Structure 1
């Protein structure tokens, strides 16, 4: 486990308050450092790290400190305003409950579409389809539009799909907290299986038990800055000390 799978160098992302990212298409071709204008702030600034294949990383920090922004950069759904991030291989993102799923399409169509977009052939999708539906417990809603599912069922379907992909990096952002206890246990077992296969895990969570269970390394973000990159125990101890836990 010596090969780097993710490299981040000087990452910075700037947002306009109440308007989302300030990154325009024109900005993608403009070089040099950028300063925040009035009404703007840096969600991330000068964040650098490397991740090796098979590592399990816990991303720690209070709400609004840049954790989800970092995962979206790794997933490729956001562009940095400063710095670079490269991922060697595909990413299976479970960042937002409805992310990547089309509300008007049925569960069946969404499973096939999402798996296909991640490179699975029709034969591979057919071979895994029943396992995905069984894992999610979605047999009764297989022909229901995705937008009509409960939040819990959306999480079930989303996790069932992304955990069956062949992508080397799995991104999980807090959404497992929506599922019920029995389903979370299934998800945890599946994550452990993926780690044994040397998949790389990025886990954003406020649950220290989950972070200690799966992660050996942590990234502690505060005010968009990388405060500490260390073992998960070191990171959680620093976080607790900073916030009076």
Structure 2
């Protein structure tokens, strides 16, 4: 059964500087030594005491200000990060669309990266070869697909990543607001394809600042604030509390 279960999870990032990485400190640390209070390494708490349980059919928006912990939570759900404390269990094939560097090689062509990213997402080479023409048509990258990925703009890389992930059948789809790097015309074109993908996937978690896009794809929301979940509930209620107004009513009135 497709599921995401996170219980009391925290994600901490130690901040090292040149002094804390020195050989002398490393040796003394292993020997039980101490160099005053400066030997302490500062810790950033990216997530604190996060508990969430998702099942097949859940369509969840992640909202919150920049730095609130949305991207960190997505990476915890994808398995890129493991909790420093607490527990995180994910069952199902995950398709993340946020870290464009993962599963892609800047030195090889777009066509080759289609195959590699597909393999990274659990597809076979034969399955991806059958999808190449459809992906190429969707991305509208033309001759750029024969050029190295390092020649692509951020928006072009997002097109390629979206083309690949929307061609497969993930059980858990994780989308970050980075997809907004593409132009509005292409994003409108991608919306139908994303909607079809959401219908096929078991769980969707989407972090975005676009209320209209969230309203189109999600029905519940998690409001992240300073690394914690401030509210989890129906999309309309959470957005209303977060924004201080009925955002969905404004969208319906347009």
**Structure 1-normalised TM-score?**
0.85
- C-alpha contact 1:54 1:195 (8 A) present in aligned 2: no
Shift of 1:153: 0.8
Q: Counterparts of 1:122 and 1:210 in 2: how far apart (Å)?
A: 32
Does 2:214 correspond to 1:216? no
Write the deviation string for residues 13-33 of structure 1: whole angstroms up to 9, x where unpaired.
0113477xxxxxxxxxxxxxx
CA distance in 1, matches of 2:16, 2:238: 31
The number of residue pairs the alignment matches comes to 223
**3-state SS of paired residue (1:142):** helix
Deviation at 1:6, TM superposition (A): 0.9
Matching of residue 66 in structure 1 with residue 64 in structure 2: no
Check 1:17–1:238 CA distance in 2 against 1; reply closer, same or farther (3 A cut).
Answer: farther
Candidates 160, 163, 167, aligned match of 1:164: 167
Q: Tell me the distance in 2 between the aligned counterparts of 1:189 and 1:38.
A: 48
Q: Is the 8 A contact 2:103 2:116 kept in 1?
A: no
1:29 corresponds to which residue?
Answer: none
Hey, which of these two has a bigger chunk of helix by percent?
2
CA separation in 2, counterparts of 1:211 and 1:241? 17
Q: How does 1:77-226 map to 2 (within 5 A)?
A: 77-226=80-229
Q: CA deviation at 1:76?
A: 1.0
Distance 1:125 1:4, change over 3 A: closer
Match of 2:28 in 1: none
Question: Of 11, 17, 22, which residue of structure 1 is paired with 2:9?
Answer: 11
Provide the TM-score with structure 2 as the length reference: 0.83
Q: Which runs of 4+ in 1 moved over 6 A?
A: none
Tell me how large the CA RMSD over aligned residues is.
1.8
In our comparison, the structure showing a higher alpha carbon Rg is 2
- Could you say which residue in structure 2 is the equivalent of 1:33? none
Unmatched segments (≥5 aa) in structure 1:
20-36
More deviation, 181-190/226-235: 181-190
Alpha-carbon distance between aligned partners in 2 of 1:145 and 1:69, rounded to the nearest angstrom: 29
Q: Distance in 2 between matches of 1:18 and 1:92?
A: 32
1:188-244 deviation digits (Å, cap 9, x = unpaired)? 1111112222432111011111112211010111111111110111111111139xx
